A and B are shown apart, each in its own frame.
Chain A
Amino acid sequence: METNLALLLLLSPFVGFLFNTFFGKKISKGIAGVIGTLTVLFSFLITICFFTQLIQSGKNFEISLFDWISVGNLQIDFGIVLDQLSLLWLLFVTGIGTLIHVYSISYMHEDENMAKFFAYLNLFIFFMITLVIGNNLLVMFIGWEGVGLCSYLLIGFWYKNQAYNDAAKKAFIMNRIGDLGFLIGIFILAAQFSTLNYSEIQLAIASGKVNTTALGIAALCLFIGATGKSAQMPLYTWLPDAMAGPTPVSALIHAATMVTAGIFMITRLNFLFDLTPEIQNVIAIVGVITAVLAASIGLLQNDIKKVLAYSTVSQLGLMFLALGMGAYTVAVFHVITHAFFKACLFLGSGSVIHALHGEQDMRNMGGLRKVMPVTFWTMLISTLAIAGIFPFAGFWSKDEILLAAFEHNKILWFLASVASIMTAFYMFRLMYLTFFREFRGTEEQRKHLHESPALITMPLVVLALLATIGGIINLPGSFWLNHYLEPVLATKHHAHSLGTQEFMLMGVALAGAIIGIVWAYAKYLKQGFVPKEDDAISGFNKIIYNKYYIDEVYTALVVSPINAISNFSRETIEPQLSKLIFSLGTAANAIGSQGRKLQNGNIGLYLFMFVLGICAIIIYLFIAQ
């Protein structure tokens, strides 16, 4: 019974994918969307069933579906596990997935390939469930690659625009670099333990006979995989470009679900990372650097989705900081609250873009507060949440990260706080530029300004509600999430007691957020400052506006040399090679054309040759003897 339900949970979105792929052209767009949504909703409902069962009984459900790979002493099953961690992920993947599917029905209704869009979204959900539900690393790897593929397909969904195709390719290639690390990590673990099953690896590690050097390398490789998928330094540059995809895709894949796969993987393998403190330090440092760097880039971006993209990179950096400090529950807590408010923010920005018919530059927005009240209020709530204002969800999760950082290392705490202040600033900059003062777009756009339909605003409202109360799952005092996740964590993460220091730090964090907000208020609302045209930006601002020229550096260091090698091969080596091969062909041809003169069809000549041959053989035999 449970096996069948779990299979249904996994395969339901896949059925939606098959249906929309094969029959999508024959049915109306609305039906395609509704079927796509229902299949995901179905998975969500089953997840809720499993979740309530787990809460009541506290028992994991793990089953091996079939023997998959069996080579020598390496045994890999295709198995699924529904424990605390995977169910938590499934809840918000399918839950937010459902909301975003609903949103997409309205958002994509003008697109000619709507069925294809829903097919891809369903396929993505299927792979995401595979990633989360597997009971060993190889099943996770299937999902890991699959979501990468869907990400590629959806970023390049509007394939007629070459820039979007390039962005899709960039995302795919950057992910592939990380995936290689992930794969090498899997190989090392397989070589060490002859199994990839999580609980078996955990048992083997607990038994003590482990090679810590090999485990350290494996952990580092796995972390490189995580940097690719979760957009951390140095592989983060694909995520801002991934905004080329339709906005629901940005909300679902590039904010709420897929990019948290790296955090899921590290939390899943927490027992491994606990053994390698050096790698944990690397994770923390990479995380905090990414958080600060991406937040600073976000300060000056003018594309509404780019701001949100850099904000996502920055928040993911904070989550990795928490992982690096061994505070896995805190990271998971932030993943969940972030999924709520960031999905809401992306969907809100989609609603704005929808109202402005594709305009994404905030310099051409403004004054939308009165026209789009629902969008405005939901986005405001989410912005307050991401800025870390009491009592919204982001406050609680971000505060816990800062607390953990303060206990761990003051420098990390300081940098994380700087990132939070910048977050508050650029998010309110976004709000002020988009929703306040006068509308700065064209007259044509002004005439068509409208609040989005209910199918778009409904998910916004739900997500805003979650962003408001989401903190409830791990409030100081109850720490429900901490207790809930205890069975999947090897070392218990102790919850903070509420002392003077904690309250002081909360106060500092809140003050930081308010400083950021006031700063943005003074600059963009009071003075009505509008960012300058691209070529009028100068000095340090220009460096930040151009994202520290990191893309250009990558181009110079990696892309150009590879292009140069390719060009050299194509223009120099290949012609020489083909000349050589061609000359062989010419020679064979020349010999052949001489040879065919012998075949003149004269039987008399043939017979003569025949006799001559016999004579030659006889003479040879006589001489030889």
Chain B
Amino acid sequence: MNNILNQIGIENYIFLSVLLFCIGVFGVLYRRNAIIVLMSIEIMLNAVNLLFVAFSTYHQDAEGQIFVFFSMAVAAAEVAVGLAILVSIFRNLGSIDIDNLKNLKG
């Protein structure tokens, strides 16, 4: 495992992770399709997971990897619920453009 880190270096993992996270953020901010918003959130989550794993290897400590399992499980549940809600919204409104979803106006 150390070999991989020796070959590529921890900084590169951090840069990749930040890049992925920023892609996720901009996806959430700029796209109007709810499914793509959900996908962008997944990208952000995975950026964090990548960082977890990289540092776990770097510190020779398995805790980070265990956390990743948890966050993957939570993400899977979240996606399941989120998609179910989207399906229901689509059936009711015929659209999943988030600009149209204004029924929760206070």
Digitize B62-106: 1 where CB-to-A-CB distance is under 8 Å, 0 elsewhere.
000000000000000000000000000000000000110111111
Cβ 8 A contact of A604, one of B25, B99, B103, B105:
B99
Report whether B98 and A603 are in contact in the complex, using a CB–CB cutoff of 8 Å.
yes
List the B residue with the shortest CB-CB distance to A597.
Answer: B106
Q: Which of B22-38 contact A (CB under 8 A)?
A: 25, 28-29, 32, 34, 37
- Give the distance in Å from the alpha carbon of A596 to the alpha carbon of B37 in the complex: 25
Q: Does A608 contact B (CB under 8 A)?
A: yes
Residues of A within 8 A of B29 (CB): 604, 607-608, 611
- Give the distance in Å from the alpha carbon of A609 to the alpha carbon of B101 in the complex: 17
Q: Which of A568-625 contact B (CB under 8 A)?
A: 596-604, 607-608, 610-611
Cβ 8 A contact of B106, one of A596, A604, A608, A611:
A596
Q: Give the shortest distance, in Å, between B86 (CB) and chain A (any CB).
A: 12
Cβ 8 A contact of B101, one of A596, A597, A601, A610:
A601
Report whether B106 and A603 are in contact in the complex, using a CB–CB cutoff of 8 Å.
no
Residues of A within 8 A of B104 (CB): 599, 601
- Give the distance in Å from the alpha carbon of A613 to the alpha carbon of B8 in the complex: 33
Q: Give the shortest distance, in Å, between B97 (CB) and chain A (any CB).
A: 10
Report whether A598 and B37 are in contact in the complex, using a CB–CB cutoff of 8 Å.
no
- Using a Cβ–Cβ cut-off of 8 Å, how many residues does chain B contribute to the interface with A? 14
Residues of B within 8 A of A602 (CB): 99, 102
- Given A607-B28, A608-B29, does the pair A599, B106 have CB atoms closer than 8 Å? yes
Report whether B25 and A611 are in contact in the complex, using a CB–CB cutoff of 8 Å.
yes
List the A residue with the shortest CB-CB distance to B99.
Answer: A604
- Give the distance in Å from the alpha carbon of A611 to the alpha carbon of B105 in the complex: 20
- Give the distance in Å from the alpha carbon of A285 to the alpha carbon of B97 in the complex: 96
- Given A611-B25, A611-B28, does the pair A604, B102 have CB atoms closer than 8 Å? no
Number of A-B contacts (CB under 8 A): 33
Report whether B101 and A599 are in contact in the complex, using a CB–CB cutoff of 8 Å.
no
Report whether A607 and B37 are in contact in the complex, using a CB–CB cutoff of 8 Å.
yes
Digitize B41-71: 1 where CB-to-A-CB distance is under 8 Å, 0 elsewhere.
0000000000000000000000000000000
Residues of A within 8 A of B102 (CB): 600-602
- Give the distance in Å from the alpha carbon of A600 to the alpha carbon of B105 in the complex: 5
List the A residue with the shortest CB-CB distance to B105.
Answer: A601
Residues of B within 8 A of A596 (CB): 106
Cβ 8 A contact of B32, one of A600, A604, A608:
A604
List the A residue with the shortest CB-CB distance to B102.
Answer: A601
Residues of A within 8 A of B105 (CB): 599-601
List the A residue with the shortest CB-CB distance to B101.
Answer: A603
Q: Give the shortest distance, in Å, between A335 (CB) and chain B (any CB).
A: 77
List the B residue with the shortest CB-CB distance to A612.
Answer: B29
Q: Give the shortest distance, in Å, between B89 (CB) and chain A (any CB).
A: 11
Q: Give the shortest distance, in Å, between A348 (CB) and chain B (any CB).
A: 80
Residues of B within 8 A of A607 (CB): 28-29, 37
- Give the distance in Å from the alpha carbon of A610 to the alpha carbon of B102 in the complex: 17
List the A residue with the shortest CB-CB distance to B103.
Answer: A601
- Give the distance in Å from the alpha carbon of A602 to the alpha carbon of B105 in the complex: 8
Residues of A within 8 A of B106 (CB): 596-601
- Give the distance in Å from the alpha carbon of A610 to the alpha carbon of B29 in the complex: 10
- Give the distance in Å from the alpha carbon of A602 to the alpha carbon of B104 in the complex: 8
Q: Give the shortest distance, in Å, between A601 (CB) and chain B (any CB).
A: 3
- Give the distance in Å from the alpha carbon of A608 to the alpha carbon of B29 in the complex: 6
- Give the distance in Å from the alpha carbon of A603 to the alpha carbon of B104 in the complex: 9
- Give the distance in Å from the alpha carbon of A611 to the alpha carbon of B37 in the complex: 13
Q: Give the shortest distance, in Å, between A592 (CB) and chain B (any CB).
A: 10
- Give the distance in Å from the alpha carbon of A602 to the alpha carbon of B28 in the complex: 13
Residues of A within 8 A of B37 (CB): 607
- Give the distance in Å from the alpha carbon of A604 to the alpha carbon of B29 in the complex: 7
Residues of B within 8 A of A604 (CB): 29, 32, 98-99
> Which of A596, A598, A604 has the largest count of B CB atoms less than 10 A from its CB?
A604
- Give the distance in Å from the alpha carbon of A598 to the alpha carbon of B98 in the complex: 17
List the A residue with the shortest CB-CB distance to B98.
Answer: A603
- Give the distance in Å from the alpha carbon of A604 to the alpha carbon of B102 in the complex: 10
- Give the distance in Å from the alpha carbon of A607 to the alpha carbon of B37 in the complex: 10
Residues of A within 8 A of B98 (CB): 603-604
Residues of A within 8 A of B25 (CB): 611
List the B residue with the shortest CB-CB distance to A603.
Answer: B98
- Give the distance in Å from the alpha carbon of A604 to the alpha carbon of B104 in the complex: 13
- Give the distance in Å from the alpha carbon of A597 to the alpha carbon of B29 in the complex: 21
List the A residue with the shortest CB-CB distance to B41.
Answer: A607
Residues of B within 8 A of A597 (CB): 106
Residues of B within 8 A of A599 (CB): 104-106
Q: Give the shortest distance, in Å, between B59 (CB) and chain A (any CB).
A: 20
- Give the distance in Å from the alpha carbon of A601 to the alpha carbon of B101 in the complex: 7
- Give the distance in Å from the alpha carbon of A607 to the alpha carbon of B73 in the complex: 23
Q: Give the shortest distance, in Å, between B36 (CB) and chain A (any CB).
A: 12
Known: A603-B101, A607-B29. 11 other contacts (CB 8 A): A598-B106, A599-B104, A599-B106, A600-B102, A603-B99, A604-B29, A604-B99, A607-B37, A608-B29, A610-B28, A611-B29
7 shortest A-B CB distances, which residue pairs? A599-B106, A601-B105, A601-B102, A603-B98, A596-B106, A601-B104, A607-B28
Chosen A-B contacts, 25 in total, with CB atoms closer than 8 Å, are A596-B106, A597-B106, A599-B104, A599-B106, A600-B102, A600-B105, A600-B106, A601-B101, A601-B102, A601-B104, A601-B105, A601-B106, A602-B99, A603-B34, A603-B99, A603-B101, A604-B29, A604-B98, A604-B99, A607-B29, A607-B37, A608-B29, A611-B25, A611-B28, A611-B29
